[in-house]
């Protein structure tokens, strides 16, 4: 990677990458680390108003947004606005992960036939539009805050710390899709700030600096009968034991899901509440979430560790996300005179959980779009990311005037030396 960086800096030209089969805004990044753009090295992470939280132990904190939504086979309309799904208290995150289930009806023609990418492209287009709206809103908010700061500075003594805080709150130019993958009705789409792209590598997972991330979007076995949770547990075992990533010669990434540094599982996990339906509906009406969660199948699995040993879930303080009457805020089976259709007791089917250390959750809630019989769920994390001290040291050198002087004086010599030798002193 570093010889390519040096060549790009000295010769002023990019070296081509090979193509890949994933839908992304960065073609060719799935198999290689890609080029590091010197101009974007050192760009900070958006974390509230302080932008970059860099610590002496070379750990940086990045904000990660994760959402899951079973859309029930309903195709999105062109005017569907999902900006509300992106609402978070700390402005803009660094990484956005969107998981969908049933983006197409689960009938035989869709399962056995070729995948229709038109629907996934529609969802990606809506995501891009929503992220752009988010950026525009933050820019307008930042400009308003600047004006207010100027007014206060004229009326009162100037607060230097407040000025510094505001100036450091840069807004990303845009977000780019680094991977979008569909498998029948399941879709996962990962987006990052465009200035973070030079540090990332993508297959089905990606690496940011020295830390590997893995996001698993799943739709587990359905069913509300006693014992159906065993089918879901079996699905989870299959996913963790049988999923194996291909080795990439340019990347030293794990092959198994649980061997990654940061792992998040999202989706319609379909776990139910193990109570009689009448009792469940009564407790839902009373909003007694704790009593319901004491009998939640996933929570039991997290507690006993039989299937989800080492996994974590944040506090649930929102209503069950399933099953609603379509285009309604009423749970299925609760409306007077309702006939036909499938009645299901309310449950938290849609969940986001994480594995291991290095992730701190700040938000866990649901959205209120009534597009389908599920409500979307979203979460926001701070993720610790290991940054190599070698990168930091070389970064400072390549950005320094000293390096510019060296390249100016001996550009031809260095160019010839780099082009003629197959080995380099920089090895990563």
Top pLDDT among 281 and 404 is at: 281
| pLDDT at residue 167 is higher than 70 | no
Burial of 210 (0-12, 13-18, 19+ CB in 10 A): middle
Tokens 């402005």 -> residue: 91
- pLDDT tens-digit readout, 245-266: 887 777 778 889 999 999 999 9
| pLDDT at residue 75 is higher than 90 | yes
| pLDDT at residue 187 is higher than 90 | yes
Q: Do 40 and 355 contact (CB within 8 A), yes or no? A: no
Nearest CA among 257, 249, 168, 196 for reference residue 387:
196
Average pLDDT, rounded, for the chain: 77
- Give the CA distances from residue 75 to residues 116, 120, 130, 293, 343, in Å, rounded to whole numbers and listed in that order: 12, 10, 17, 32, 23
10 Å Cβ neighbour count for 83?
14
Threshold 0.85, pTM exceeds: no
Using alpha carbons only, give the angle 308, 324, 225 rounded to the nearest 5 degrees.
Answer: 50
User: By three-state DSSP, how is residue 238 classified?
Assistant: helix
pLDDT of residue 25: 67
- pLDDT tens-digit readout, 191-217: 999 888 766 643 368 888 899 999 999
Neighbouring C-alpha atoms within 13 Å toward the C-beta of 385: 26
DSSP 386: E
Q: Do 126 and 82 contact (CB within 8 A), yes or no? A: yes
Instruction: Give the Cα separation of 101 and 351 in Å (integer).
Output: 12
| pLDDT at residue 152 is higher than 80 | no
Q: Do 58 and 384 contact (CB within 8 A), yes or no? A: no
Task: Show Cβ contacts of residue 207 under 8 Å, excluding neighbours closer than 6 positions.
Answer: 200, 201, 213, 251, 253
Across the range 50-74, mean pLDDT stands at 78
- pLDDT tens-digit readout, 356-369: 899 999 999 999 99
pLDDT of residue 252: 79
């Amino acid at each position: 990677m570093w010889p390519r960086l040096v060549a790009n800096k000295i010769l002023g030209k990019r070296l081509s990458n090979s193509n890949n089969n994933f839908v992304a805004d960065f073609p060719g990044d799935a198999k290689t680390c890609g080029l590091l753009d010197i101009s974007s090295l050192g760009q900070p992470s958006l974390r509230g108003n302080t932008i970059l939280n860099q610590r002496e132990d070379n750990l940086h904190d990045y904000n990660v947004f994760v959402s899951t939504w079973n859309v029930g086979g309903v195709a999105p309309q062109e005017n569907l606005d999902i900006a509300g799904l992106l609402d978070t208290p700390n402005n803009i995150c660094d990484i956005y992960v969107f998981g969908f289930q049933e983006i197409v009806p689960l009938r035989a023609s869709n399962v056995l036939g070729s995948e229709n990418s038109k629907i996934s492209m529609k969802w990606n287009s809506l995501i891009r539009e929503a992220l752009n709206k988010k950026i525009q809103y933050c820019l307008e908010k930042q400009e308003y805050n600047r004006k207010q700061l100027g007014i206060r500075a004229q009326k009162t003594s100037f607060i230097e710390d407040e000025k510094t805080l505001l100036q450091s709150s840069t807004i990303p130019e845009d977000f780019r899709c680094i991977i979008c993958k569909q498998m029948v009705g399941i879709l996962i789409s990962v987006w990052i700030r465009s200035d973070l792209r030079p540090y990332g590598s993508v297959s089905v997972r990606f690496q940011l600096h020295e830390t590997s991330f893995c996001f698993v979007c799943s739709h587990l076995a359905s069913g509300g009968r006693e014992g159906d949770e065993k089918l879901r547990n079996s699905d989870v075992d299959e996913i963790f034991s049988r999923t194996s990533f291909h080795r990439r010669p340019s990347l030293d990434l794990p092959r198994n899901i649980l061997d990654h540094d940061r792992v998040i599982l999202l989706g319609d996990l379909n776990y139910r509440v193990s109570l009689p339906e009448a009792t469940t509906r009564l407790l839902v009406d009373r909003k007694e979430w704790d009593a319901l969660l004491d009998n939640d199948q996933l929570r039991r699995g997290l507690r006993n560790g039989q299937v989800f040993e080492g996994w974590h879930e944040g506090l649930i303080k929102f209503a069950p996300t399933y099953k609603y009457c379509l285009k309604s805020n009423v749970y299925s089976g609760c409306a007077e005179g309702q006939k036909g259709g499938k009645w299901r007791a309310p449950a938290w089917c849609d969940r986001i959980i994480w594995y291991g250390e290095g992730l701190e959750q700040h938000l866990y809630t649901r959205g209120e779009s009534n597009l389908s019989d599920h409500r979307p769920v979203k979460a926001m994390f701070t993720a610790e990311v290991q940054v190599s001290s070698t990168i930091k040291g070389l970064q400072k050198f390549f950005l320094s005037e000293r390096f510019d002087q060296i390249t100016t004086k001996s550009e031809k010599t260095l160019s010839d030396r780099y082009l003629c030798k197959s080995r380099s002193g920089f090895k990563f």
